[in-house]
Amino acid sequence: MPLEQGPYLASPATTQSGEVDGISCGPTEQLLYHIHIHLEVWVDGRLYAIPAGVGIPGSQSVETNVGPVAEGGRCLYWLHTHTADGVIHVESPLRRIYTLGNFFDVWHQSLSAGGVASATGKVTAFFNGKLWSKDPRLMPLIPHAVIQLEIGLPPPPLQTVDWSHSSL
C-alpha cells in the first residue's frame, strides 16, 4: 500500500500506557481479532498523513525501504499504526467492533463534526465511498473499511483503496 503523501496530521505521541475506552496497551500484539482499515484526512484539499506509531507509546520512527516504521515502544494498544500509510491496525484479544472515535481517543486527538485533531471546520465524512451523515466518531472499524474525512476545500475525487495488492 503506498504511503500517504503530506505532512502529519498530528504527532504520533501516545504518552500514556493505561486503558483507553476499555482498550489496553499490552507487551505484544493480540491477534485473535486482526483487521485493517484505511483512513485519509484532507484539509483544504491537501492530504495529511496519519503517522507511524499511533497507539505505540515510546516507539521510534525508523526509516526503511518502505518509509518510516514504528519500532520499539513500551506497549501496543489494540488500535495502532505501524507505518504512515493510513492503515489502522486492529489487533485485539476481543472480537469487538471498535470505532474511529476509539482510535482518536488512543491517539489523544479530537474528532467531531467540527474538526479532526488540530484542523477545525465542518467535517465531511465518507465510509466505503458513501457519505456518512452521523457523528464521525461512530464510524465502525470493520475489515478493509475505507474512511475519508474532509475539512474545508474539497480534495480530488474520492480516493479508492485496492486491498487486493496488499498482504493485509
Q: How many domains does the chain have?
A: 1
Is residue 166 in some structural domain? no
Task: Please provide the average confidence, as pLDDT, over all residues in the chain.
Answer: 90
* Ramachandran angles phi, psi of 32, nearest 5°: -60, -45
pLDDT at 1 over 60: no
Is 68 within a domain? yes
Residue 121 inside a domain? The answer is yes
Calculate mean pLDDT across residues 113-119. Answer: 96
Task: Show the domain range for 116.
Answer: 25-153
Judged by average pLDDT, the poorest of 81-90, 97-106, 146-155 is 146-155
**3-state SS class at 30:** coil
Q: Given pLDDT bands bounded at 50, 70 and 90, which one contains residue 5?
A: low
89: number of Cβ within 10 Å:
23
Which residues, at least 6 apart from 78, have a Cβ–Cβ distance to it below 8 Å?
23, 24, 26, 30, 55, 90, 91, 92, 93, 94, 98
Looking at residue 46, which CATH number applies to its domain? 2.170.130
Residue 108 above 90 pLDDT? yes
Give the model confidence (pLDDT) of 128-154 as tens digits. 999 999 999 999 999 999 999 999 988
Judge whether 52 lies within some domain. yes
- Residue 12, pLDDT above cutoff 90: no
